[in-house]
Amino acid sequence: MREKLQQIKEEALLKLKECQNSQMLDELRVKYLGKKGELTTILRGMGQLSPEERPTVGKIANEVREEIEAAIEETLKQIKQREKNLRLSMETIDVTMPGRANRIGGLHPLTKALDEIKEIFIGMGFSIAEGPEVELDYYNFEALNIPKNHPARDEQDTFYINQNVVLRTQTSPVQIRVMENKKPPIRIIAPGRVYRSDTADATHSPIFHQVEGLVVDKGITMASLKGTLDAFAKRMFGEKTRTKFRPHHFPFTEPSAEVDVSCFVCGGTGCRVCKGSGWIEILGCGMVHPDVLRAGGIDPEVYSGFAFGLGLERIVMIKYGIDDIRLFYENDVRFLKQF
């Protein structure tokens, strides 16, 4: 039995030197030290030895086990080091190679323009107001002096959820909600998405963005409106920009006007962008109709106000010379990265 133990030790140590990976090492551990391993099998047969031989053989068997376990532990360290070195050699990074540039995104042109508009009006003392996009017919039409069957509803044909709930056609309902909940003085802009059942083409979209403004206080006049919008146009399109007010009609303002700015491309001499006129229309405005003030709970005998509304897409198209509104929504990176 002593010779057998010595033979097992020599054989195990020899095979451990030839071991190349963790799987082979585990197989050798089971073969020699496992429950059915060769060393365990011999130890189970010690009952056949005489009482005098058992201590000597048991000591030799423990020494053999310890030597094999130590050799296995050392072999495991060597295998792990080899595997680590192999991984490092395969994962080597050449720090002298040029790095890959990260693709950095940017703001959407509509977002950039809206941020610029907000900054301009906040600088003039306006605050930002928001309201629901799914709106009551009352706030979207009736409170804005557009009763049922009024012709102006045809111009703002929208999506009806039911008879009394619509997708808002403008952000003007926000103005009514603000007047209902806040006493003058009021100075707000209301940016947001609006909806109209238009067929998508180069200049129309069933969803677009508006920025509307409202000022209500004592002594507000048309001069206040013109001064505010003239200051906005100069900040938005350049200090040399001139403004022109043309009479118009909106149900919720009286008097009403449309505002043109001098063409920022040709300076007013006439070009393709302004169609030879030297002017570009940018928004509608007017003095708040007394009925609209009453709908907001404000006495028109004491207070007056002005309102204006501009299409965000139109402003961006004018500013950057974009000829198709659909480009804003197609998510074409070739278009977006220009901004």
- Which of 31, 58, 90 is at the close of a domain? 90
73-82, 108-117, 248-257: which has the minimum mean pLDDT? Answer: 73-82
Convert the pLDDT of each residue in 26-69 to its tens digit: 887 787 777 777 777 766 666 666 676 667 767 777 787 788 88
Is 121 found in the same domain as 59? Answer: no
Is 166 found in the same domain as 23? Answer: no
Better-scored residue on pLDDT, 92 or 298: 298
Is 121 found in the same domain as 262? Answer: yes
The answer to whether residue 95 is domain-embedded is no
Q: Which two tokens stand for residue 54?
A: 């058992």
Is 74 found in the same domain as 46? Answer: yes
Is 137 found in the same domain as 72? Answer: no
Is 276 found in the same domain as 172? Answer: yes
Does the annotation list 254 as a binding residue?
yes
CB-based burial of residue 16 (10 Å sphere; 0-12 exposed, 13-18 middle, 19+ buried)?
buried
Residue 94 CB neighbours (<10 A): 5
Better-scored residue on pLDDT, 65 or 142: 142
Is 131 found in the same domain as 70? Answer: no
The answer to whether residue 98 is domain-embedded is no
Is 113 found in the same domain as 60? Answer: no
Is 329 found in the same domain as 182? Answer: yes
The answer to whether residue 96 is domain-embedded is no
The answer to whether residue 18 is domain-embedded is yes
Using the predicted structure, report yes or no on whether residue 150 has a pLDDT greater than 70: no
| pLDDT for the residue numbered 2 | 67
pLDDT band for position 18 (cuts 50, 70, 90)? confident
Using the predicted structure, report yes or no on whether residue 13 has a pLDDT greater than 90: no
| pLDDT for the residue numbered 29 | 78
The answer to whether residue 117 is domain-embedded is yes
Is 324 found in the same domain as 265? Answer: yes
- Which of 58, 90, 122 is at the close of a domain? 90
Q: The pTM is what?
A: 0.67
CB-based burial of residue 36 (10 Å sphere; 0-12 exposed, 13-18 middle, 19+ buried)?
exposed
| pLDDT for the residue numbered 48 | 65
| pLDDT for the residue numbered 74 | 86
Convert the pLDDT of each residue in 167-200 to its tens digit: 999 999 999 999 999 999 999 999 999 998 888 8
Q: Which two tokens stand for residue 301?
A: 């005998």
Range of the structural domain that residue 72 is part of = 2-90
Instruction: Kindly report the CATH number assigned to the domain that includes residue 331.
Output: 3.30.930.10
| pLDDT for the residue numbered 238 | 87
Using the predicted structure, report yes or no on whether residue 92 has a pLDDT greater than 80: no
The answer to whether residue 102 is domain-embedded is no
| pLDDT for the residue numbered 303 | 96
- Polymer length of the chain: 339
Using the predicted structure, report yes or no on whether residue 299 has a pLDDT greater than 90: yes
Contacts of 80 (CB under 8 A, 6+ apart): 22
Convert the pLDDT of each residue in 212-251 to its tens digit: 999 999 999 999 999 999 999 999 988 888 999 999 998 8
Is 130 found in the same domain as 84? Answer: no
- Which of 60, 90, 120 is at the close of a domain? 90
The answer to whether residue 100 is domain-embedded is no
Better-scored residue on pLDDT, 323 or 289: 289
Is 114 found in the same domain as 246? Answer: yes
Average pLDDT, the chain: 86
The answer to whether residue 104 is domain-embedded is no
Structural domains in the chain (count): 2
Query: Residue 202 in contact with residue 325, Cβ under 8 Å?
Result: yes
